[in-house]
Amino acid sequence: MTSSLVTSLEGPDRATIRAVKVQGFSERHRRAVFGVLHAALLARPVLPRPSYPIGGPVGGNLSEDSGPMTNRHVNGDDAGVAADWDPRDPELHDDQRAAYDALRGRCPVARDPSGSWMLLRHADVRRAALDDVTFSNAASRFKSAPNSMDGDEHRRFRSLIDRFLDPGRVAGLVPTFREVAEQVVAALPRGVAVDAVEELGLPVAVRAQSRWLGWPAALEPALRAWVHQNHEATRSGEQARTRDVAERFDEIVRQEVARRRGTTGSSAAGADVTAELMRALVEDPAAAGGERVLTEAETVSVLRNWTSGDLGSVARAIGVVVHYVAAHDDVQAGLRATEDAAALDRAIDEMLRLDDPFVSSRRVTTRDVQLGGRSVPQGARVLLNWTAANRDPEGFGGHGAYPPAQHAPSNLVYGIGRHVCPGRALATHELREALTALFRGTKSIALAPEEAVTRETPPLGGYARVPVILG
Ligand code: HEM
């Protein structure tokens, strides 16, 4: 990738970061240093594979998960050599999707100044996600269930989680999600700008998730505040801040767990999903009878992965979908007229494919591997960029086009392989019910002419703010 080399990089100090120059990104964008995604990636202790406890500050499976971390597996031997791109470049913050499209065109397997690799092509992301032996999920120093697990351990926890998120089971939640969405839409003002992320997406996500888990409505302000704090901490790139915010979230979850234990000590009382999870058995060859209940740390980790990341994912996904229908009258008219739930779901998936708010997932290589003509060493940190892969013309025959049915088989919004999103059916019901409640409750949805749409900044995707006028 000689055409796109970093020409000056001597070390990860701030002065040097300012000197990083990646060909293809303009000088006007040197105005600030954004240390968001990769401040932590610049710190790279080279340590043997740890045996780590469940828990810790890395909160979940979403884009946030590609944020601050200290990766102990990373191979630092090649640090400091030429890189292909700079994740701190402000151009990325202006329009992530365009920057990734451009990078995929000139360097689809791209190395950044910290020595991390990013895969941007559909074929490469798909291959890495499917080859879970070469591309391990044990890429964080904190273990989370099931996200950071590999092999048989992952299978055991995943089979427990899949029981709760089984499509047949979560279909029973549709009336609840409909009621939640209708209440939120009914409370939105008409004829003035409303933010589809903050005023529609976030309350729908928080209330739907709370109803599913059996958490009290009174938690809503704390959960909403937490989503914002988490995003801020993730953007800051400061590990201590991220750890703090994660700890605050774990505290909310622990209270819910403690409430259900009540005076009974270890057995959880109650009929809701949280209590059921506390009583659920996970396969464990070391346990008497081959199975056991989850430890408190495991319960908190599972609940954290169901909520901490996904509230933000669902809220931002609703922002993307509302933006798309507000900006495309023809699509909006067609979807308003359809009563075919499967067609709505395919349309929503396609909108998310074009603008995937769940940007990336991380892996660490367990052996040297060749990808796109590059040699990626064992122990390398690798980001699978779902947003870029989902827009790869070679994966879809033209990323600008919108034919939902044709693109569905290659759509990677919910991932692929062993770690494919177990929450897909749940998220799909939430998104469809939010959109159809909006259609039923309005005659028109249009972008607010006087207000700016604001895109999210890395490592988050989609929009931070989508002002629309409901008619
Ligand atoms: C629009 C919303 C959502 C999107 C776009 C999304 C996307 C994804 C993607 C791409 C992955 C694969 C990550 C990887 O391969 O490393 C994933 C994994 C996961 N998702 Fe989702 N997700 C969403 C909502 C949800 C919801 C609502 C839940 C739970 C209630 C959930 C739970 C999980 C879990 C636990 C994993 C890790 C699975 C594993 O490692 O085996 N997701 N998600």
The model's pLDDT over 277-295, given as tens digits with 9 standing for 90+, comes to 999 999 999 999 999 999 9
The lowest-confidence range among 103-107, 120-124, 216-220, 228-232 is: 228-232
If one counts the domains in the chain, the total is 2
CA torsion angle 209 210 214 218 (round to 10):
180
pLDDT of residue 358: 95
pTM for this entry: 0.85
Residues 74, 222: one domain?
Answer: yes
The model's pLDDT over 377-402, given as tens digits with 9 standing for 90+, comes to 999 999 999 999 999 999 997 655 78
User: Using 50, 70 and 90 to split pLDDT, how confident is the model at 336?
Assistant: very high
Strand partners, 292: 282
Residues 108, 25: one domain?
Answer: no
In a domain, 371, yes or no: yes
Residues 64, 87: one domain?
Answer: yes
- Which of these, 364, 430, 431, 419, lies nearest to 386 by C-alpha position? 419
The lowest-confidence range among 32-36, 135-139, 378-382, 452-456 is: 32-36
Beta strands, E only, 217-367: 281-283, 291-293, 360-365
Residues 200, 325: one domain?
Answer: yes
In a domain, 460, yes or no: yes
Residues 35, 119: one domain?
Answer: no
In a domain, 415, yes or no: yes
Residues 138, 231: one domain?
Answer: yes
In a domain, 47, yes or no: no
Q: Which residue's alpha carbon is at the smallest distance from atom 6 of ligand 1?
A: 414
CA gap 430, 206 in Å, rounded:
11
DSSP state of 326: H
Residues in contact with ligand 1 by the CB-under-6-Å rule are 61, 129, 146-147, 158, 305-306, 310, 313-314, 317, 358, 361, 386, 413-415, 419, 421-423, 426-427
**Tokens representing residue 231 in the block:** 């995003």
Residues 32, 134: one domain?
Answer: no
**For the chain, percent of residues with pLDDT exceeding 70:** 80
Residues 402, 452: one domain?
Answer: yes
Residues 57, 26: one domain?
Answer: no
The model's pLDDT over 25-80, given as tens digits with 9 standing for 90+, comes to 333 333 322 222 322 222 222 222 223 344 433 333 333 343 322 233 334 445 45
In a domain, 450, yes or no: yes
**Tokens representing residue 287 in the block:** 């346990």
| Burial (CB count within 10 angstroms: exposed 0-12, middle 13-18, buried 19+), residue 8 | exposed
pLDDT of residue 398: 61
Check which CATH number belongs to the domain holding 413 and give it: 1.10.630.10
Residues 120, 91: one domain?
Answer: yes
**Tokens representing residue 449 in the block:** 């002419």
Q: Which residue would you say has higher pLDDT here, 11 or 153?
A: 153
In a domain, 48, yes or no: no
In a domain, 360, yes or no: yes
Contact 434, 196 (CB under 8 A): no
Residues 6, 78: one domain?
Answer: no
Structural domain including 1 reads: 1-42
pLDDT of residue 263: 54
CA gap 471, 451 in Å, rounded:
16
**For the chain, percent of residues with pLDDT exceeding 90:** 64
For the residues of 190-245, what is the DSSP string, one character each? SSSEEEIIIIIIHHHHHHHHHHHHT--GGGHHHHHHHHHHHHHHHHHT-HHHHHHH
As a whole number of Å, the end-to-end CA separation of the chain is 51
The model's pLDDT over 87-101, given as tens digits with 9 standing for 90+, comes to 888 888 888 999 999
- Which of these, 310, 315, 237, 231, lies nearest to 67 by C-alpha position? 237
Mean pLDDT along residues 355-376: 96
Omega before 146 cis (within 30°)?
Answer: yes
Top mutation candidate among 163, 310, 383 for ligand 1, by most atoms within 8 Å of CB: 310
Residues 87, 23: one domain?
Answer: no
Q: Which residue's alpha carbon is at the smallest distance from atom 41 of ligand 1?
A: 419
Q: Hey, is 383 helix, strand or coil?
A: strand
Q: Which residue's alpha carbon is at the smallest distance from atom 16 of ligand 1?
A: 361
